[in-house]
Structure 1
Amino acid sequence: MKIRAAVTNEIDSPYVIEELTLNEIRDDEILVKMVASGICHSDEVARKGGYPVYPVVLGHEGSGIVEKVGAAVRGFEPGDHVVLSYHYCGHCSNCLSGVPASCEDWMTVNLRGTREDGSLYFQREDGSPIYNFVSQSSFSTHTIVTERNLTKVDKSVDLRLVGPLGCGFLTGSGTVLNGLKPGPGSTIAIFGTGAVGLAAMMAAKISGCSQIIGVDIHDSRLDTAKQLGATHTINSKDSDVLAEIKKLTNNKGVNFSIDTTGVPAVARTSIDILAVGGVAAPIASSRGGVEINFNADLNMLNRSIKGVLMGNSIPQLSIPQLIQFFEAGQFSFDQLVKFYKFDEINEASADSASGKTIKPVLIIDEDYAPAK
């Protein structure tokens, strides 16, 4: 079938809306008509060169409506409303243990750009290849996924809002709820108050943290952080973060920290401000490293650094939970969203990269209206 998609043709090139051919679904696949897609920092990383194959249709925070299912599909049917998230193999020891974010084949199944047998989902009319992203490619009017990519949501849920629950908001909240698991009364510092950081702050409030310290260089974002759960904020451009956090915590430091910036110096600070026994989660994409003295920084203070991918979440469990938190007024991610038309994808991407918009969402199907 003919579809429209935003194609990244080469490293650091703008998105180009093109007409492509979407190949037929197979027995274990599902055709989804896209309603909307968030733009994530990882899309920008991929567009700038962090992906192995081009041209590619990026996007991995999609939401839409099931249009067709393969003969072997049992969990979904046409008309189902769904949120798209990452893929996982389902049969490795980690998947079978209920930790699909630690799938042994995660990198392969999400980043190879094709089906397992090398066949394409997308191609141009002349047959030239267009590659897939995170087994989803949500910057398109239709896409092909599997059951493991999908989470079914109630038809009363506004599909224009919930796509980012498949990655950015899932990652931030899950890092707290599933990765760090702070107990009531814990203290936490979150570096970067974009979509991921603010989701983490809301989750920290849900978890009962007594001090939730937001760190950023933009006062406007720190103001938003205060509205969404931060008990204290620090502008690191104007203040000594280590000194300020020591002051706030009676010279102890915080029990937990999360770095969402990927800036090596910031990641280093997120370790330095830990209390004895503290845990740091550096979850941002970063090309720079941080020098660690295992004895002085970790062992002698019983500290640890924890890697967390996709919030260590099971999307089919975590996404409905986040929607419940949202409906209860505890996870107000809608305050971070700004809508753009599909054709405005380059403007939306630029606004995301500059920080002008915290979470841009592309409206791909402008005829969609949520159920009343």
Structure 2
Amino acid sequence: MEITAAVARGAHVPFSLETVTLEDPRPGEVLVRIVATGVCHTDLVTKSVFPPELPIVVGHEGAGIVERVGSEVTGIAPGDHVLLTYASCGDCPRCAAGTPSYCENFVILNTSGGRSDFTSALSKDGERVMGAFFGQSSFASYALVPARTIVVVDEDVDLVATAPFGCGVQTGAGAVTNVMRPGPDDSLAIFGVGGVGMAALMAARAIGVGTIVAVDLSAERLAVAKELGADVTIDGAAEDVVAQVIAATGGGAHFALDTTALNPVIAKGLEALRPLGTLVLVGLGEATMEVEIGHLTGNGKAIRGCIEGSVDPQQFIPQLLAWHREGKFPIEKISKVYPFAQINDAVADAERGSTIKPILILP
């Protein structure tokens, strides 16, 4: 079938809306009409690394309505309203253990530009267009996805507002609720309150974390963080960021989350912990960094990595939806909606920081 997709053709070329060909569903695949899709920093990073000779359709925070299902798909039917998340194989030991975000085939299924057999369902004039990005490639009017990427939701769920739940939101929120698991007597410092950091903040407030500190370079973002429940906001450009966090948390944070993937900020996050505190990293930045070992051996601090919130989306996304329904997760306060045709405006606003979480609406 012919669909409209935002094709990335190199780092310095804007997305172009093009007519491309999408294959019919294979036995284990589902065809979804995309209603909305979030724009995530990972989309933009991927666009920057795929060369012009490898055009790709990214997008991995899709939401929509099922059009067709493959012959082997069960539990999903045409007309179902769905949120889309990352792909996992379902067969490896990590998937079997309930940790699909650490799937042994994660890279192949999500970032290789194709399915597990390295084919792509997308083409243009007979030439391959890279796809299957995070199992989705949802910057398109339709997406062909593995059944495991689908979370079926009630028809009254706002698909536009909740589209980002499948990646950025569950990454930040899951890092707090599933990895850190702080309590009412604990403190949390969040370094970087973009979309992922804001999701972490809202989740921390939803579960009643005692003290929440937000650190960012943007005064506008810090104002939103304050509105969403941050007890203390700190300008990340200040020379005494670590001292301010320690003072705000009465001796250092029990937990810290870094969303920036910047080594100097990560170092501050580690330093701002109290003894036995834990720093969780969710971003991808430099391949290596220096760590002051005394923080670990002398104070019992820990650094922990986290992919997609370390959650099972089939269980965690319903929790996010419940919080949203109860008013505990006001994602609308950090979102701005754009028509699909204005995708490059949405990207520009995200890069300059004027929009925290852009969401594209498909016609």
**Normalised by the size of structure 1, how large is the TM-score?**
0.94
Query: How far 1:238 sits from its partner (Å)?
Result: 3.5
Query: How far 1:254 sits from its partner (Å)?
Result: 0.6
* Distance in 1 (alpha carbons) for counterparts of 2:114 and 2:359: 25
Judge which range, 337-346 or 116-125, deviates more.
116-125
Query: How far 1:318 sits from its partner (Å)?
Result: 1.0
Corresponding residue for residue 358 of structure 2: 360
Query: How far 1:184 sits from its partner (Å)?
Result: 2.2
Q: Secondary structure at the match of 1:48?
A: helix
Corresponding residue for residue 330 of structure 1: 328
Match for 2:122: what amino acid?
F
Corresponding residue for residue 111 of structure 1: 111
**Normalised by the size of structure 2, how large is the TM-score?**
0.97
Match for 1:223: what amino acid?
A
Corresponding residue for residue 368 of structure 1: none
Alpha-carbon spacing, 1:289–1:65, altered in 2? closer, same or farther (3 Å): same
Contact kept, 8 Å, 2:40 with 2:357, in 1: the verdict is: yes
Query: How far 1:182 sits from its partner (Å)?
Result: 1.1
Query: How far 1:227 sits from its partner (Å)?
Result: 1.1
* Distance in 1 (alpha carbons) for counterparts of 2:249 and 2:51: 41
1:286 and 2:282 correspond: no
Contact kept, 8 Å, 2:187 with 2:253, in 1: the verdict is: yes
Corresponding residue for residue 167 of structure 1: 167
Corresponding residue for residue 33 of structure 1: 33
1:88 and 2:88 correspond: yes
* Distance in 1 (alpha carbons) for counterparts of 2:272 and 2:30: 47
Contact kept, 8 Å, 2:30 with 2:70, in 1: the verdict is: yes
Corresponding residue for residue 18 of structure 1: 18
Alignment of 1:291-370 (within 5 A): 291-294=290-293, 296-365=294-363
* Distance in 2 (alpha carbons) for counterparts of 1:10 and 1:239: 38
Counting matched residue pairs gives 362
Corresponding residue for residue 193 of structure 2: 193
Q: Cα RMSD (Å) of the superposition?
A: 1.5
Match for 2:264: what amino acid?
A
* Distance in 2 (alpha carbons) for counterparts of 1:245 and 1:9: 43
* Distance in 1 (alpha carbons) for counterparts of 2:208 and 2:267: 26
| Unpaired stretches in structure 1, ≥5 consecutive residues | 366-372
Query: How far 1:80 sits from its partner (Å)?
Result: 0.2
Contact kept, 8 Å, 2:99 with 2:312, in 1: the verdict is: yes
Alpha-carbon spacing, 1:53–1:144, altered in 2? closer, same or farther (3 Å): farther
Q: Secondary structure at the match of 1:134?
A: helix
Match for 1:305: what amino acid?
I
CA-to-aligned-CA distance 1:53-102 (integer Å, 9 cap, x gap): 82100100000000000111111000000001000010111110111111
Corresponding residue for residue 47 of structure 1: 47
1:70 and 2:57 correspond: no
Contact kept, 8 Å, 1:42 with 1:285, in 2: the verdict is: no
Q: Secondary structure at the match of 1:306?
A: strand
CA-to-aligned-CA distance 1:116-149 (integer Å, 9 cap, x gap): 2232210002x11101111100000011001110
Match for 2:231: what amino acid?
T
Alpha-carbon spacing, 1:12–1:49, altered in 2? closer, same or farther (3 Å): farther
Query: How far 1:50 sits from its partner (Å)?
Result: 6.5
The percent of aligned pairs where both chains have the same amino acid is 40
* Distance in 1 (alpha carbons) for counterparts of 2:295 and 2:54: 41
Contact kept, 8 Å, 1:256 with 1:280, in 2: the verdict is: yes
Corresponding residue for residue 267 of structure 1: 266
1:256 and 2:269 correspond: no
* Distance in 2 (alpha carbons) for counterparts of 1:153 and 1:123: 30
Match for 2:311: what amino acid?
S
Query: How far 1:261 sits from its partner (Å)?
Result: 1.2
| Unpaired stretches in structure 2, ≥5 consecutive residues | none
Alpha-carbon spacing, 1:72–1:288, altered in 2? closer, same or farther (3 Å): closer
Q: Secondary structure at the match of 1:119?
A: coil
Q: Secondary structure at the match of 2:134?
A: coil
CA-to-aligned-CA distance 1:187-233 (integer Å, 9 cap, x gap): 11001111110110111112221110000111111111111121111
Query: How far 1:332 sits from its partner (Å)?
Result: 0.7
* Distance in 2 (alpha carbons) for counterparts of 1:224 and 1:200: 13
Q: Secondary structure at the match of 2:265?
A: helix
Large movers: runs of 4+ above 3 Å = 50-53
CA-to-aligned-CA distance 1:151-187 (integer Å, 9 cap, x gap): 0111011111111001111111000011111122111
